[in-house]
Amino acid sequence: MLRLYKMLKRLWVFAFAAGTLLFFGGWQTALPRATYIDGVDVGGMARTAAVAAVRKNTVSRLKDKRLTVRAGECVYTFAYPQFNFTDDLGELCASVRGPGNYFSHTRVYLNCMDIVVEDICSRLDSPVREPSATFCKTGRPFLYDGGCDGCAADRGRLARDIVNSINGEFCIVEVQKAVIRRTVSLDVVKRETQLLSSFDTLYDASNAPRSSNIALAASKINGCVLRPGQIFSFNAVVGPRTAQNGFLSAKIISGGQFVQGIGGGVCQVSTTLYNAALLSGLKITEYHPHSLLVSYVAPSRDAMVSGSSCDLKFKNTSNTPVYIRVGASNGRISCSVYGLPDGASRSLVSQVTGSLPQPQDVLMPGVGGVITQGRQGTLSCGYLVEERGGTRTKTLIRTDRYAPLATVRYAETSPPSDETFYFVKKASCG
């Protein structure tokens, strides 16, 4: 076995040496006379010398060439060795067996072409700017922008054109662009930002604490945008009515009586917003009536908020945003809702269905007049009237019971004199 192994080893060494001699001997053997490769006379040259001579000729030719790419107002120029080449000269020379004209497969390429193409094209790209509306808290409700079409440079075509140019006549390459059209028109944006409803209530501007609370609550709501499917929460937007949050003490309804409390007047803001939301077609998901009748809206059209337990909530059930503006100044709260009309016009109807007897007067120790004027209680219901396509529907949306209020006065009446004051306090609500 050892002798056989040594014999095989000798045969393998002999074969390798013979192959090596044959390979290098073939490469060192001169090419036949009258042999031309890519137009270069390589007859009589060793194959390695022939490869070097042809490649030198290729480099010389490429050094005189320029690749020019035009991209709009920008012009990019590339020269050797920014572009280079590959060839099959080694295989071609090894296959030459006689004189003649031979041609290699030479491929010119641009170094880092993917990066170059992306850099050129990205400078030409411009995104589509769709028409848009900017919602404003004051002044005009919307500022409109018509947008503009975009464009995208054709990266694939540029890469192909570069390859064809540097492997051909080095023609100037023009970057091609495709226009990207806007998907919507400004008319569509304007249709989606129309006034859906507007509702106002009046308040006593001379009552400074109450006016301050109203203005503060209104400012927190003003500019709200309700996305499709989103629910608006008054308590979440306005926040707790506390002195730390800037709210002052004013008249509120508590325990069936008008008393002083932090945040008095905020309920008038929620009531104004409630009516505007109903008229605009928003879906009311939570509301609470006052225990007593309020003066700034008809019965069954109020919406009381209190702490975290009583909230006003409504939902945007449309497929487009809803925009809310609330302002309070000079004794008027104005609420406007904007969005895409659903084709219906709406109105609210309040109907008093009964009354509750006024309780007996409450006498307070002392001399004077009426402290609080009493009144009967009220039973009422509210309807939403919708007109759409010539069809009118009237839907009952709520029934309410507002408690009566006893007159509170001093037990004794002071004798008539010029210094006698009778106070009749108008009912007001938080």
| The pLDDT value given to residue 26 | 44
Same domain assignment for residues 102 and 217? no
Predicted local confidence at residue 367, as pLDDT: 81
Which amino acid type is present at position 346?
R
Please state the separation of Cα 426 from the chain's center in Å: 47
* Predicted local confidence at residue 227, as pLDDT: 98
Is residue 27 pLDDT above 90, yes or no?
A: no
Residue 92 pLDDT greater than 80, yes or no? yes
Long-range contacts of 293-297 (CB under 8 A, 24+ apart): 293/375, 293/377, 293/378, 293/402, 293/427, 294/267, 294/268, 294/427, 294/428, 294/429, 295/426, 295/427, 295/428, 295/429, 296/201, 296/202, 296/203, 296/268, 296/271, 296/429, 297/201, 297/271
Q: Over 80: is that where the pLDDT of 363 sits? A: yes
Together in a domain, 213 and 115: no
pLDDT at 255: 58
pLDDT of residue 68: 98
In a domain, 107, yes or no: yes
Residue 234 within any structural domain of the chain:
yes
Mean pLDDT value of segment 386-410: 93
Specify the higher pLDDT residue, 261 or 204.
Answer: 204
Q: Considering only 67-81, 306-320, 399-413, which range has the smallest mean pLDDT?
A: 399-413
Q: Would 12 be classed as within a structural domain?
A: no
The backbone region for 369, taken as left when phi is positive above 0, alpha when psi lies in -120 to 50, beta otherwise, is beta
Output the CA torsion sign for 56, 58, 64, 66. Answer: negative
Omega within 30 of 0 (cis) for the link into 81:
yes
3-state secondary structure of 150: strand
Instruction: Tell me phi and psi for residue 203, to 5 degrees.
Output: -140, 165
pLDDT at 369 (0 to 100): 82
Strand partners, 225: 323
Residue 176 sits in the same domain as residue 201: no
Q: Is the pLDDT of residue 392 over 80?
A: yes
pLDDT at 31 over 70: yes
Q: Phi and psi (nearest 5°) for 280? A: -90, -5
Of 88 and 364, more confident: 88
Residues 172 and 198 in one domain: no
Cα R_g (the chain), whole angstroms: 45
Per-residue pLDDT reduced to its tens digit, 114-161 = 999 999 999 999 999 999 999 999 999 999 999 999 999 999 999 999
Q: Annotate 104-149 with DSSP letters as a single string.
A: ---EEEETTHHHHHHHHHHHH-B--B--EEEE-SSSSSEEEE--B-
Residue 13: per-residue pLDDT: 44
Task: Give the pLDDT mean for 289-303.
Answer: 95
In sign, the C-alpha dihedral spanning 353, 357, 358, 362 is negative
pLDDT at 243 over 70: yes
Q: How far is the C-alpha of 245 from the C-alpha of 415, rounded, in Å?
A: 46
Confidence of residue 5 (pLDDT cuts 50, 70, 90): very low
104 and 225 in a single domain? The answer is: no
Same structural domain, 173 and 225? no
Looking at residue 91, which CATH number applies to its domain? 3.10.20
Give the domain range for residue 243: 192-412
Same domain membership, residue 378 and residue 288: yes
Residue 287 backbone dihedrals phi, psi, to 5 degrees: -155, 160
Asked if the model's pLDDT at residue 52 lies above 70, the reply is yes
| DSSP 3-state of 174 | strand
How many domains is the chain partitioned into structurally? 2
Q: What is the DSSP letter of 427?
A: P
Q: What is the pLDDT of residue 425?
A: 34
pLDDT at 353: 97
> Residue 189: pLDDT above 90?
yes
CA 238 to chain centre: 23
Phi/psi of residue 409, nearest 5 degrees = -145, 165
pLDDT in tens, 330-358: 999 999 999 999 999 999 999 999 999 99
Position with higher pLDDT, 275 vs 422: 275
Q: Are residues 175 and 315 in the same domain?
A: no
Mean pLDDT of the chain: 89
pLDDT at 365: 86
Give rounded-to-5 percent helix, strand, coil for the chain.
Answer: 25, 35, 35
Average pLDDT over residues 306-326: 95
